Structure 1
Amino acid sequence: MKKSLIALAVLAASGAAMAQSSVTLYGVADVGIAHEDNGSATTTRMDAGNLNGNRWGLKGSEDLGGGLKAIFTLEAGFSLDTGAQADAASFFNRQSFVGVSSNFGTVKLGRQMNPVYATASTWDSFGDALAGDSSRLFSYNGSRTNNMVSYNYSANGFYGELQYGLGEVAGNNSITGDNSAGRTAAMFVGYKTGPFDVVLTHQNIHNNPYTTATKMTLLGGNYNFGVVKLFAAYAQEKTLGVGAKDQKDAHIGLTAPVGTAGTVELSYLNKKDDLVSNANAHQVAIGYVHNLSKRTALYTSYAQLTNDANASYKTAVYAADGKTQIGGWGKDDKLFNIGVRHSF
């Protein structure tokens, strides 16, 4: 009798401990057909990750008591059309971090999303996806940062995150000062209430070798009127010294529901180059997403990007080294795609 009671107590304790931790396997499978004409060549191909990037991942948490939790995420990207790993040099190339969360915020360490990419769905009507993807003209400066320490907090509609990415350049790795090559300091802060959501982001990247820094600031948001949701954003990117750059990006767009399962997306993007004459560009786009279920959707989109004489966004032709541009000035790029996405 005593042994039975002890066994039941052990099982109960084991069950309670298991209930305090959880691990979730999740992912996205997305592929479609794309037709693109960039003025130099016309291509019909199978493209993966049009609506959402293909991935599989593991995420979990453990309740440590007193409102404290341990958390982790390991997320790997892949190309659904070929089955290949998205990044041959990095298996968990999308996100890989561990951290702790409490009522006072969340601290994470590892590879994480940078502020422009992390907040794209707030200010981009295409949500960084399909042919209208704002990154076709906006300067994201990558999507994720390695070796990042972040602190995130949200309350009463306010939300924000501070980020610091260690440069880890040998012999040039101080946390502060001019010799902090490769390091990234970034943040975003926002406010969401009812139909209104606005966010401000800033990113400061010390290039490697550190002869200059790239700074980007973006203000954007959306307002949901019910029958239509309006989006807008304005960004400025500056690099001084070697590789000088001074560009301004603007976006305006909308989404509108079609019945209970569909959404129409429209956008206009504009890039203005203040250092190079006749090097501006703009893009118009339209898309449609139809949800067959909570996890499966069909989609299609079309975008036309137009360059000034000295710009070549999405139209450049490069030599075998992949770096030297040998053609593509002043051409337009037209992109159409159609496909299916399933999440699990």
Structure 2
Amino acid sequence: MKKSLLALAVLGAFAGAASAQSSVTIYGVADVGIERFDNDGAAGATWGLTSGNQSGSRIGFRGTEDLGGGLKANFVLENGFNIDTGTLGQGGRLFGRQAWVGLSGGFGAVKFGRQMTPIFVAHDTIDPMGTGLSGAGSGMSAVFNPYGVRMDNTVNYSFSAAGFSAEAAYGFGEVAGATSAGRQIGLGASYANGPLTVVAAYHDAQDPIAASDADARTFFVGGAFDFRVAKLHAAYGDNRGDTAAGATGIRSRDYMLGVSAPVGAGTISASYIRRDERLVADADGDYWAIAYVHSLSKRTNLYTSYSVIKNDDAGNVGGFAAGPGGDVSWFNVGIRHRF
């Protein structure tokens, strides 16, 4: 009897140690709001219930296992959904937001699968709206190019030390007989120390059509400084691209100035973004946005925002307008709960 009790105690100790070495966390966001969308040239304003105005609604699974010697195995499976209809987001993918597995240790971290582009991570770090709060306008990424936000078939390496972090990502094009067709390359770096944050990113996307040399490239730099009473944000993006024939196909510049400040139990933020189109005359556009987030608890908040894009006669920044020169605007009020 004593031997049996001792054996059970030993087994219990080993089981406790094993469970302490690995963990899986379930997390998510439920975000829904009422939105009004005005589009010049359309029949009239559209009112509706929309999902993910501030943050994309999602449910995720995050896990880690301690392999010993400082080495860990990690994974993230993150599903995006539309809370207004209950349908899948990201084109119906099961884990359309993220799906990766990898290893981390003293060397940094390497991840394999569907992941965020480094340039979108840089946007999200600097945008006073957090690349959200503006409904379909999606904050800074409505004008600045995030290259689809996510990359498929990606190998990502990252490391961080003393406030500095960097990452490099390579997305395989997986086109038969053409190594470069469809491939993407992303680079990102950031430095955060006290009130100062600085980010830089580069992205190069090759056309997925074999034998086509068309590609698009963007260099992005941004920064933010927290004065406590208010935080200032600024960013610049330079976009270039070539057609399959080798001619210049993309040439534009993007600028952003923003501010965010605590107000009582919430935060107010505002931004101005300009698209400077270099190839087509009179095709520039201006984006204005203002938002307020009111915290009810650490996990639940209310929000409201208004944003508008004013296009020049030949412009259609973000492709939201019904036609060139049309203006678009969004107004929303909603609730977000994180779990």
Q: TM-score range by the shorter chain?
A: over 0.9
Q: Is the 8 A contact 2:203 2:217 kept in 1?
A: yes
Q: 1:6-17, aligned counterparts within 5 Å?
A: 6-17=7-18
Q: Is the deviation greater in 200-209 or in 86-95?
A: 86-95
Does the alignment pair 1:301 with 2:305? yes
Measured after TM superposition, the shift of residue 185 of structure 1 is 1.1
Contact kept, 8 Å, 2:239 with 2:251, in 1: the verdict is yes
The whole-number CA distance in structure 2 between the counterparts of 1:94 and 1:2 is 51
Alignment of 1:143-292 (within 5 A): 143-172=149-178, 174=179, 180-209=180-209, 210-242=212-244, 244-259=249-264, 261-292=265-296
State the TM-score, normalizing by the size of structure 2: 0.94
Task: Output the CA distance in 2 between the equivalents of 1:315 and 1:218.
Answer: 23
CA shift for structure 1 position 21:
0.4
- The amino acid that maps onto 2:296 is L
Residue 118 of structure 1 corresponds to 121
Query: Which AA in structure 2 matches 1:246?
Result: R
| Structure 1: distance between partners of 2:145 and 2:124 | 16
Q: Which one-letter code corresponds to 2:146 in the other structure?
A: Y
Q: Deviations over 1:132-164 (max 9, x none)?
A: 601221122110000110111000111010111
Query: Are the counterparts in 1 of residues 306 and 332 from structure 2 also a CA contact under 8 Å?
Result: yes
**CA drift at 1:241:** 2.0
Cα distance between partner residues in 1 of 2:151 and 2:90: 14
State how far apart, in whole Å, the 1-side matches of 2:119 and 2:291 are. 22
Cα offset for 1:332? Answer: 1.2
1:29 Cα offset (Å): 0.4
Task: Compute the displacement of 1:87 (Å).
Answer: 3.4
Gaps of 5+ in 1: 175-179, 318-327
Amino acid at match of 2:158: N
Q: Measure how far apart 1:343 and its partner are.
A: 0.7
Give a deviation string over 1:37-72, Cα, whole Å, max 9, x none: 111231111111001001001011001111111000
CA contact (8 A) 1:256 1:264 kept: yes
1:103 aligned partner, one-letter code: G
For residues 340 and 90 of structure 1, the distance between their equivalents in structure 2, rounded to whole angstroms, comes to 25
CA distance in 1, matches of 2:32, 2:122: 24
**Aligned twin of 1:329:** 324
User: Match of 2:63, as an amino acid?
Assistant: G
Distance 1:329 1:301 in 2: 25
* SS across alignment from 1:331: coil
Is 1:164–1:185's contact at 8 Å kept on the other side of the alignment? yes
Distance 2:54 2:22 in 1: 32
Cα contact 2:37–2:46 (8 A) shared by 1: yes
Distance 1:329 1:165 in 2: 33
* Partner residue in 2 for 1:322: none
Q: What secondary structure does 1:78 align onto?
A: strand
The 8 Å contact of residues 122 and 198 in structure 1, kept in 2 or not, is answered as: no
Which SS does the other structure have where 1:293 is aligned?
coil
Measure, in 2, the Cα distance between the counterparts of 1:78 and 1:40: 30
Deviation of residue 119 (structure 1)? 2.2
CA distance in 1, matches of 2:243, 2:60: 40
Aligned partner (choices 93, 96, 110) of residue 93 of structure 1: 96
Distance in 2 (alpha carbons) for counterparts of 1:117 and 1:78: 20
Q: What TM-score, normalized to structure 1?
A: 0.92
Distance in 2 of aligned mates of 1:14 and 1:124: 45
5 Å-filtered alignment, 1:20-169, equals 20-41=21-42, 42-131=45-134, 133-169=139-175
CA distance in 1, matches of 2:326, 2:91: 32
CA contact (8 A) 1:315 1:329 kept: no
1:87 and 1:124, CA in 2 relative to 1: closer, same or farther beyond 3 A? Answer: closer
Distance (Å, rounded) in 2 between the aligned partners of 1:106 and 1:87 = 26
Amino acid corresponding to residue 55 of structure 2 in structure 1: N
The more displaced of 270-279 and 330-339 is: 330-339
Q: 2:200–2:221: 8 Å Cα contact kept in structure 1?
A: yes
Q: How far off its partner does 1:89 sit?
A: 4.5
Q: Which SS does the other structure have where 1:287 is aligned?
A: strand
Change (3 A) 1:269 1:88: closer
Distance 1:225 1:29 in 2: 32
Match of 2:334 among 323, 331, 339: 339
- Displacement after TM superposition at 1:183 (Å): 0.6
Q: SS at the partner of 1:309?
A: coil
SS at match of 1:119: helix
Note the C-alpha offset of 1:188. Answer: 0.4
Q: 40-49 or 10-19: which moved more?
A: 40-49
- Asked if the contact 2:155–2:169 (Cα under 8 Å) also holds between the matched residues in 1, the reply is yes
Q: How many positions carry a matched residue from both structures?
A: 327
Paired with 1:49 and 1:152, the residues of 2 have a C-alpha distance of 28
